[in-house]
Chains A and B, each alone.
Chain A
Amino acid sequence: MSKVFAFHGGIHPPENKKQSTRAPISKAPVPDKLVLPMQQHIGGPSLPLVKVGDTVLKGQMIAEPISRISASIHAPTSGKVVDIAEYPIPHASGLSAECIVIEADGEDRWIEHQGLGDYKQLKRTDLIEHIRASGIAGMGGAGFPTDVKLHLSEDHIVNTLIINAAECEPYITADDMLMRERAHEVLGGIEIIAHILRPSHVLIGIEDNKPNAIHALEAVLKHTDLNIDIVVVPTKYPSGGERQLIKLLTDIEVPSGRIPADIGIVCQNVGTTAAIYRAVHFGEPLISRIVTVTGDAVRHPKNLEALIGTPFSTLLEACDVRPEALSKLVMGGPMMGVTVENDQIPLIKTTNCLIAATEHEMPAAPPTQACIRCGMCEQACPAELLPQQLYWFAKGREFEKAKHHNLFDCIECGACAYVCPSSIPLVQYYRFAKSEIRTEERDQQKADHARQRFEARQARLEQEAAEKEARRKARAAEAAKAQSQKTAVQSSEAAAPETAAPDAKQLKTAAAVARTKLKKAQKAYDEAAALNADNLAELEAALNEARSKADEAEKALASSASSGSEGGDDQSKQLKIAAAVARTKLKKAQDALKNAEDKGLDGVDKLRATVATLEQKANEAQQAYEKAEASGTDKAPVEVDIKALKQQVSIMRTKLKKAESAIDNCEDEADKTRLGQEVEELKKRFEQATAQFDKAEQVLVERAAQAGIDLKQLRIDAAMARAAVTKGERSLSKAESDEERSQIEQDLVAARSKAEALNQTLSQYE
């Protein structure tokens, strides 16, 4: 048996618990319509997953959490979503909020669901994820999403798990009855939580006014191998407050502004443990809960297991309400509960009690009298505050002082207001002060943000101005530099075609010469054939020779023409010349040979040998030249190809599209097959072309990269430079004063030269 410690203050209001523990827990009827608020928990509201008109099954997730601290919501019964709109919710504000309304079909058909089996084999994160997907939030009243608390062992050392079974508020017996009737579910849930958090010690804190529940728990605890202690604490409100219970059981105080996990403690409500048990062992999400329906205005106060979303009116009717006697409807306990104005408000995950009170039972508070600082509130305060001082500060709007007197450690338990002889609604004053302070702080934050933004903007404007000035200076310098560069480039440009042009001319001439030669050779052959000359074979060979040469010359011309100004270097030029020389020599020799042959001269044999030698030489020279050309102009073919390839790719694409649309339009089956084949063919070709293009482009980019230039960046720069020029021209036309104009002109010159330089660089690589 663990020792019980004490917390300061506390009160002993009339318990009023006996009324609702006489009957066992019974099932509440399924209402025709269920209203499910999207916010039943602390944190972000859930996001609906269904639309109006959807059919849902019992247990189907209909809203998902949108943030870390949020909970999913499931359909409590099967039916149809008939509305997603704002409805009154059970909240102190009395406001409306988004709700999903389900019209029950009466079949109560479950979605397929099953338990996790041996959950100890699962990864703990998966287990927690399952609990999150089951929409479980703290069922003691606050509704903090349970999975968030279960994750605490990741960054906290959890020594002690405290199960809050104190249920200290008057009237409420939902946890009491749960423990009496379903102690094994409570234990099962504790085992799951203990498996996840691995505490060294589990404490169940329970008030001594629940002997039956204590017996039931003791009975099931015999079968567990966990280190669980039931700690019976004296009945005193608010011993069920998380911080008060921790103090009672461990004598440790949770530091102000921190959470219990910071001191190695995690608290879970006993109702939550049962919900976890059902979620893990049966796969049932949180769709119902036990609620105490009590108060003098119901004839049969008892605990009901009701579906989430059941309107209060259904619950009240199930307990035989006397409408004429009902004066106040309280959701929760009389100390911290919320009154509701409307009995159509639905039951939510945190609704542990519904008190239908008569006027006699909960009379209106007597008129407030002056505070005489009697200090009774101070003796009752479980947080050891000075409630009377806080009251004076709140009333006098002295919020700094209220904060200094630890207003924010107030848990709003209502003990001070309960004992106040002057009937001062103290808790309301604290709520007012807290919200005022929060508003002030928000305003202060907003003002701070605005100031920071303004300061940042000022700094940015100054920086921009400085940068602009620096850029202007840089541009002027660059303009001068670019001007000199431009002249250099122009001169080199002018030089390039001059050297390249002769080459092309030469080639052209060579080609023409070769063609003429071919013609001549043809003619000679024809004549010889007509004369039936004996050297016909030789002439034929010469003719073939001439033909191949002509072909070669043509090829060379073609390649040179396409390579443009990117002609060969010095070596290839020399080689070309050498080849040409060799050809000329050959030609002369051929002419001499022909002449000799025609005339039947003696030196024919000799000449023939000379021609053969020369031919060989010419061939060698040509080959050497071609080889050099091929190696020297490696770049050229790629550059040429890129545009052509691009074009080809686009052509192929268009063709392909056309062919495809033709297929679509075609009705004849045979045609279709044929077209299909064509399309296949086109596709292949398109792919080939694309591949080629990609390859070529890749080469291009690589080459540019080798030169240390980012092609993309270059393009962007060039475009910007052009835009700058356009802008400059425009502003020049608008400029009024001469001074301004000359300034702009200067800028424009610089911009133009920059743009040109960039364009040139770009054109080199494209």
Chain B
Amino acid sequence: MALIRLSSPHVYKANSTANVMRLVLIATLPGILAMTFFFGWGTLIQIALAGSLALAFEAAILKLRKRPVGFFLSDGSALVTAILLAVALPPFSSWWVTATGIFFAIVIAKHLYGGLGNNPFNPAMIAYALLLVSFPVEMTRWTSPMTQNGGGWQIASFADTLQAIFGSVEASWYDSFTGATPLDALRHRGALTTEELWRSSDVLLNGVGAWYAVSAAWFMGGIFLLSRKIFTWHTPLSMLIALFLTASAFYGFDPDNYISPMVHLGVGATMLGAFFIATDPVTSATSNRGKIVFGALLGILIYIIRTWGSYPDAVAFGVLLMNLCAPFIDQYTQPRTYGHSSANRGMKGKN
């Protein structure tokens, strides 16, 4: 009978980081399915490509860093990063775009900063931002949703999609399957009012429904994670409310020049960002109050960048900017501890 001495507690909840990541992966399924349904095989191929590259890069860098490879690979964090980047990329992006992005996300943004838990920026978003700045043409060539042309379920074949990603296709092929996203269309409006633009644009007339549907799928996945207490309601809710309120204010003031708040919530990466990107615990604020501040500022930033910035979507840049602010927000949003009349602020101060 060899007894050992250990520090309390002696029991643990059956839970693990791998479990958390697995749940996140499960929660992305509705979104992935919706995207595949509306945009074709590209999304799935990108996910497969990004996932295997991410695991390969992760294994390689862990080996270089002399860390136990199997142990850290099994936490699933690399896969989550890969999926989030893959669904953010245009489905027909070339393989080297995806490879560059994954390399940057896993090797530079994550492991060079110390690995899981130590990265200041969301790896998927920083990779996306890098790609958007470096390869603007490839990154804005979004697949048109199959609803856009009104001809039923018409998507590029699996073989063509593989060809587009790993080989090369004629430029005209792209013309028939890709187009502007709703946000692109709304950006480049010329002198038209919102209503005129809405009536004249294919993507806005027929295609936007697909975007709404995809957003709804992400939303469902988010609610699932919320119900499993993987994250709290604070960040997504405050972000969506802030975005909605800001958009409402401008839309109510001048509906001709500004876009309806419902469109803001339904298109682009709003729902994906609210439930899968902004809630990344590593890079966001930590306390409940901090998460509310983080989400609200992110919502406002998204609106500002979408409306007045030079890029059509703003979730990636908004998240990266807020990642920078998170440590600062943490300092000023400590919760009020039991037995204290008020919360501590800042790093120093009387205690």
Contacts and interface: CB of A to CB of B under 8 A. Distances in A.
| Chain B associates with chain A | yes
Interface of A: 7-8, 11, 13-14, 92, 94, 170, 243, 247, 253-258, 323-324, 326-330, 332, 334-343, 355, 357, 362, 365-367, 369-376, 378-379, 382-386, 388-389, 400-401, 403-406, 409, 412, 414, 417-423, 425, 427-428, 431
17 contacts: A13-B13, A92-B7, A243-B339, A327-B4, A336-B8, A340-B5, A357-B10, A372-B17, A374-B281, A379-B229, A379-B232, A384-B335, A386-B335, A404-B347, A412-B8, A419-B15, A423-B12
3 A-B pairs with least C-beta separation: A414-B9, A370-B117, A256-B339
A421 B77 CA distance: 13
A372 B77 CA distance: 10
B228 to A, nearest CB: 11
A403 B351 contact: yes
Interface stretch (B138-146, B202-210, B282-290): B282-290
A247 to B, nearest CB: 7
B344 A406 contact: yes
B348 interface: yes
A339 B6 contact: yes
Nearest to A9: B338
A334 B337 contact: no
B339 A334 contact: no
Contact of A326 (B3, B7, B330, B337): B3
Given A256-B338, A373-B286, 8 more contacts: A92-B8, A255-B341, A334-B9, A339-B4, A339-B6, A341-B3, A372-B281, A386-B286
A339 B17 CA distance: 27
B15 A338 contact: no
B17 A421 contact: yes
A335 B13 CA distance: 11
A386 B287 CA distance: 7
Interface in B204-259: 229-232
Nearest to B350: A404
A418 B281 contact: no
B340 A336 contact: no
B261 to A, nearest CB: 29
B129 interface: no
Interface string B6-35: 111111110111011000000000000000
B160 interface: no
B268 to A, nearest CB: 27
A362 B11 contact: yes
A343 B1 CA distance: 10
B7 A329 contact: no
Given A329-B3, A425-B7, A404 B339 contact: no
B294 to A, nearest CB: 12
Residue with the greatest number of chain A CB neighbours at <10 A, chosen from B229, B287, B338: B338
Contacts of A428: 7
Nearest to A406: B337
A436 to B, nearest CB: 16
A147 to B, nearest CB: 26
Contacts of B351: 403-404, 406
Given A370-B115, A406-B351, A421-B16, A256 B337 contact: yes
Given A335-B8, A372-B117, A418-B11, A383 B229 contact: no
B96 interface: no
Residue with the greatest number of chain A CB neighbours at <10 A, chosen from B7, B336, B347: B7
Contact of B9 (A94, A335, A400, A421): A335
B282 A372 contact: yes
Interface string B147-167: 000000000000000000000
Contacts of A258: 339
Residue with the greatest number of chain A CB neighbours at <10 A, chosen from B5, B20, B116, B334: B5
Nearest to A321: B1
Contacts of B230: 374
Contacts of A423: 12, 16
A339 B3 contact: yes
Given A329-B3, A418-B13, A373 B117 contact: yes
Nearest to B77: A372
Contact of B338 (A7, A94, A355, A370): A7
B1 A369 contact: no
A297 to B, nearest CB: 9
A337 B281 contact: no
A253 B117 CA distance: 34
Contacts of B308: none
B118 interface: yes
Nearest to B337: A406
Contacts of A327: 3-4
Contacts of B115: 370
Nearest to A389: B286
B349 A370 contact: no
A333 to B, nearest CB: 8
A337 B9 CA distance: 7
Interface string B114-125: 011110000000
A320 B297 CA distance: 62
Contacts of A257: 339
B184 interface: no
Contacts of A342: 3
B10 A253 contact: no
B286 A369 contact: no
A422 B5 contact: no
Given A330-B10, A379-B232, A423-B12, A370 B3 contact: no
Contact of B286 (A323, A357, A378, A417): A378
Contacts of A406: 337, 340, 344, 351
Contact of A417 (B9, B16, B348): B9
Given A7-B338, A243-B338, A369 B75 contact: yes
A257 B347 CA distance: 20
A371 B117 contact: yes
Given A378-B286, A379-B229, A373 B281 contact: yes
A9 to B, nearest CB: 9
A425 B232 CA distance: 23
Contacts of A332: 8
B20 to A, nearest CB: 5
A375 B281 contact: yes
Nearest to B336: A384
A324 B1 CA distance: 7
Residue with the greatest number of chain A CB neighbours at <10 A, chosen from B3, B9, B116, B281: B9
A253 B16 contact: no
B20 A386 contact: no
B10 A400 contact: no
Nearest to B344: A404
Nearest to B7: A428
Contacts of A13: 11, 13
Nearest to A416: B9
A339 to B, nearest CB: 5
Given A253-B338, A373-B282, A405-B344, A419 B3 contact: no
Nearest to A169: B9
Contacts of A371: 117
A255 B336 CA distance: 12
A414 B3 CA distance: 22
Contacts of A338: 8
Contacts of B77: 372
Contact of A337 (B8, B16, B19, B336): B8
